[in-house]
Amino acid sequence: MNDILVAAEPLRHFVETALINEGVDVERAKQASATLSYADLAGLDTHGVLNLMSLYVKGLSEGVISRTAEIEVLRDQGAVVTLDAHQMLGLNAGHYAMQMAMDKAKQYGVGIACVRNSTHFGAAGYYAQMALAEDMIGMAMTNLGSDPVAHAMGSRQPILGTNPISFAAPVANMPNFLLDMSTTVCASGKIKQANARNADVSGDWLCNDKGEPVSNPEAYFNGTAYLPGLGGWKKSSGGHKGFGLNLMVEILSGVLAGADVPMVGQKGKTNEVGHFFLVMNIPSFMPASEFKQTMAQMLDGYLSVPTFDGFDTLQYAGQPDNDNRAERAERGIPIPVTIFKELNEYAASHQMMPLEEL
Ligand SMILES: NC(=O)c1ccc[n+]([C@@H]2O[C@H](COP(=O)([O-])OP(=O)(O)OC[C@H]3O[C@@H](n4cnc5c(N)ncnc54)[C@H](O)[C@@H]3O)[C@@H](O)[C@H]2O)c1
C-alpha cells in the first residue's frame, strides 16, 4: 500500500506545531490536533492528518480560514443555541458548539447547537463521541456549504454534499455504539486516496451516466464518473432513501443553521459551512445504567446471530473504530508515502522536527 507507520502522539504533536506555526492559538491548535488524531486512530483516514496541508494549512495561509475569529452567539433560547463561527477552524467551532449542546442537555435534558459561517470540521464522530463520557447520546452533522460534490439518483449535475451523520450512544462493558458516515456511498476523500495510491475504487463508489460502476478513480476527476448519494443511482438499491437522508443533513446543518446551501449559493465572499449538534441527557429519560445495560444486551444479541456462508460475522458501528484504535495506538498510524513526504517538506521549511518512521 506504500504506507509509512508513524507513532500516534508524535503525529498529533506535529499537527499541533504546524497549526501554531500558521498562527493558531496554542489551545486551539491542541484541540484541533486532538480531533485529527482521533480520526487517525479510529481508522477514519480520509479525515485525519491527510487533510492537514491540503485543507487546514492551505486554508489558513490563504485566509479562507480565520486564525483569530471568535465564535459569536446569535441566539440563545432555552435548549437551543445558534452560533456564528466567523470562518474559524471548523475543528474548533465544532468542539465549542458540541460542548455548548452538552451543557444545555445537562440543564434541559436535550441540547441543540447550530453553527453557521464555519469551515471543514473533520470527522463528525469526534463530536458525537464527546457526549459518551457524560452518559449522553450525541449527534453531529455537517454540510459542505454551497459546494456540492455528489449526484442524486442520476442527476446530471452535482447537487449533494457528502453531508455526514454521526450518532453515539454509550454501552456497558462493550465498545460504545458510534455510527459515523457520509450520506454519499463513501466520503469523497476515499476517491482521492485511491487516486493517490493508483488503486481502483471498490464496488459502486463511482458510476457512469448509465448507472454502471466505474473502478478508475481518475474518471471522477476528469468528469466521466460520478459519486452517488447513499444507496446509489437507483430506487431499487435505496437511492431515494440516501437522497432523503442527505437532504435531512442539509436542512439541519445548512438551512436551519443559516449556512450556505447547494442550489441557493454563496452569501458572502467565502463558502460558509454549517454544522448541527444534538445531545440527549440519558438520566433525564431513565437511569443511565439501565440504558447502557440494555444496549449491551441488544448489541450482544446481534453479534451472536450467525451469518450466511461467505459473510463476515456481524459487527456494529463503533466496533471497527475501537479495534483500529487499539491496534494503531500500539503499531502506529499508516500514512501514504506522498503525505509523509509532504509533511516532512513542510517541517524542513518551517524549522520543525520531522516525522519519524516507526
Ligand atoms: N467534514 C466533512 O465534510 C465530512 C464529509 C463526509 C465524511 N466525513 C467523515 O468521513 C469519515 C468516513 O465516512 P464514510 O462514509 O467513508 O464512512 P465509512 O463508509 O468508512 O463508514 C464508517 C462507519 O461504518 C462503521 N462500520 C465500518 N465497518 C462496519 C461493519 N462491518 N459493520 C458495521 N459498521 C461498520 C464504522 O464504525 C463507522 O461508524 C467519517 O468520519 C465522516 O464523518 C466528513
Q: Where are the domains of the chain?
A: 1-68+319-358, 81-185+228-304
**Secondary-structure class of domain 81-185+228-304 per CATH:** alpha beta
Residue 1, pLDDT above cutoff 80: no
Return d(Cα 322, Cα 320) in angstroms, integer.
5
Strand ranges (E), the chain? 3-6, 72-77, 80-84, 110-118, 136-142, 165-169, 177-181, 273-281, 333-336
Return d(Cα 18, Cα 49) in angstroms, integer.
11
Reported as a single tens digit per residue, the pLDDT across 128-140 is 999 999 999 999 9
HEC sequence for 195-239: HHCCCCCCCCCCECCCCCECCCCHHHHCCCCECEECCCCCHHHCH
Mean pLDDT to the nearest integer, 265-293: 97
Q: Which atom of ligand 1 is nearest to the CA of 183?
A: 15
Select from 44, 92, 201, 271 the residue to mutate for testing ligand 1; criterion: most ligand atoms less than 8 Å from CB. Answer: 44
Q: Which atom of ligand 1 is nearest to the CA of 144?
A: 3
Q: In the structure, what pLDDT confidence band is assigned to residue 198 with cuts at 50, 70 and 90?
A: confident
Select from 36, 41, 180 the residue to mutate for testing ligand 1; criterion: most ligand atoms less than 8 Å from CB. Answer: 180
> Lowest-confidence range among 28-37, 60-69, 204-213, 297-306?
204-213
Q: Is 92 in the pocket of ligand 1 (CB under 6 A)?
A: no
Reported as a single tens digit per residue, the pLDDT across 202-226 is 878 999 999 899 999 999 999 999 9
Q: Which atom of ligand 1 is nearest to the CA of 165?
A: 43
Determine the straight-line distance between the first and last CA of the chain, rounded to whole angstroms: 16
Residue 227, pLDDT above cutoff 60: yes
In sequence order, what are the residues at sequence separation of 6 or more whose Cβ sits closer than 8 angstroms to the Cβ of residue 144? 161, 162, 163, 271, 273
Q: What pLDDT is recorded for position 223?
A: 92
Return d(Cα 164, Cα 175) in angstroms, integer.
21
Q: Which atom of ligand 1 is nearest to the CA of 314?
A: 32
Q: For residue 160, what is its C-alpha cell?
A: 449533494
Q: In the structure, what pLDDT confidence band is assigned to residue 75 with cuts at 50, 70 and 90?
A: very high
Reported as a single tens digit per residue, the pLDDT across 136-180 is 999 999 999 999 999 999 999 999 999 999 999 999 999 999 999
DSSP of 31-48, one letter per residue?
Answer: HHHHHHHHHHHHT-GGGS
Measure 187 CA to ligand 1 centroid, in angstroms: 8
Q: In the structure, what pLDDT confidence band is assigned to residue 346 with cuts at 50, 70 and 90?
A: very high
Q: In the structure, what pLDDT confidence band is assigned to residue 55 with cuts at 50, 70 and 90?
A: very high
Q: Is 122 in the pocket of ligand 1 (CB under 6 A)?
A: yes
* Percent over 90 (pLDDT), the chain: 94
Q: In the structure, what pLDDT confidence band is assigned to residue 66 with cuts at 50, 70 and 90?
A: very high
Please state the length of the chain: 358
Name which residue leads in pLDDT, 189 or 71. Answer: 71
Q: Is 182 in the pocket of ligand 1 (CB under 6 A)?
A: yes
Residue 126, pLDDT above cutoff 80: yes
Mean pLDDT to the nearest integer, 56-80: 97
Return d(Cα 228, Cα 208) in angstroms, integer.
10
Evaluate whether 1-68+319-358 and 81-185+228-304 have a shared fold: no
Mean pLDDT to the nearest integer, 329-357: 95
Measure 27 CA to ligand 1 centroid, in angstroms: 28
Return d(Cα 229, Cα 239) in angstroms, integer.
7
Q: What pLDDT is recorded for position 97?
A: 98
Q: What pLDDT is recorded for position 204?
A: 84
Measure 121 CA to ligand 1 centroid, in angstroms: 14
CATH topology for 1-68+319-358 is Hypothetical Oxidoreductase Yiak; Chain: A, domain 1 (1.10.1530)
